[in-house]
Amino acid sequence: MPINAIGLLNRSVSDSWLRDERVIIDLSHARGYRLAHTVTIDADTYMPTTLIVWTAHQHTATVVVAPSVEHFPSASIQNAVALACVLVTPARTIPPLEAHTP
């Protein structure tokens, strides 16, 4: 059974939405993921971390595929999403981070 993934497209950093969407689709298929949904955000998206993680949960996705790490609005959002999911871009794969417990 294929692993579910969601795509992440940030319109604030994308200069070609169609190209970036094609990158998400092609990368998902190349890795053997089932692309269940693509989340579209921009600079005005309220609570993007919650939206991304909740969407992954709703689609039982353990992977977030993005055209580049720049599609994550900040490093802190990237790290927060990486606590729940594998992050995949054409350049690299970021495995889930382990939560820090004091």
pLDDT tens-digit profile of 7-57? 999 999 999 999 999 999 999 999 999 999 999 999 999 999 999 999 999
Whether residue 62 contacts residue 3, with contact meaning beta carbons closer than 8 Å, is answered with yes
Q: Read off φ and ψ for residue 37, nearest 5 degrees.
A: -170, 155
Q: Model pTM greater than 0.75?
A: yes
Helix, strand, or coil here: 68? coil
Q: Domain 3-94 sits in which CATH superfamily? A: Response regulator (3.40.50.2300)
Residue 102: band (very low, low, confident or very high) from pLDDT cuts 50, 70, 90: low
Q: What pLDDT does residue 100 have? A: 55
Helix, strand, or coil here: 64? strand
pLDDT tens-digit profile of 56-75? 999 999 999 999 999 999 99
The C-alpha angle 98, 69, 39, rounded to 5 degrees, equals 90
Map out the domains of the chain as residue ranges.
Answer: 3-94
Six-digit token string for 41: 């955000």
Q: What pLDDT does residue 98 have? A: 74
